[in-house]
Amino acid sequence: MYRGLLKRVARVWAPQQIREIAVQQQVLAQMQGAERGLARLQAQARLAPEIVQRIIVSLNAPPTRLEDLQTLHSLVVALEKEVELAQTQR
């Protein structure tokens, strides 16, 4: 996620290469968004691995890494819906 954001937002490989303040702020905002999304993702860790895998496949997301915020957001929302569904079926 970290490298993907640097590459997409700033078109650099290391944060030290970002020279413009506005781009630094954009990268920071994206990183903070990713941090929130990853925290939400960890909260869904109680789901069975096969359910998580089914959702990842349905989103056509790379199974071993998340590269952008849109994929992270889609995954988190889908997992949260799955948790809600499981809770209402109890």
Per-residue confidence (pLDDT) for residue 64, from 0 to 100: 66
Per-residue confidence (pLDDT) for residue 35, from 0 to 100: 94
Residue 31 — very low, low, confident or very high, per pLDDT cuts 50/70/90? very high
Whole-prediction pTM value?
0.76
Per-residue confidence (pLDDT) for residue 63, from 0 to 100: 62
Q: Taking residues 29-57, what's their average pLDDT?
A: 87
Residue 42 — very low, low, confident or very high, per pLDDT cuts 50/70/90? confident
| Residue at 33: amino acid letter | G
> For the CA atoms of 65, 43, 9, 14, what is the dihedral angle to 10 degrees?
-70
Q: What is the pLDDT of residues 57-76, one digit of tens each?
A: 888 877 667 778 888 999 99
Q: Are 65 and 1 in contact (CB under 8 A)?
A: yes
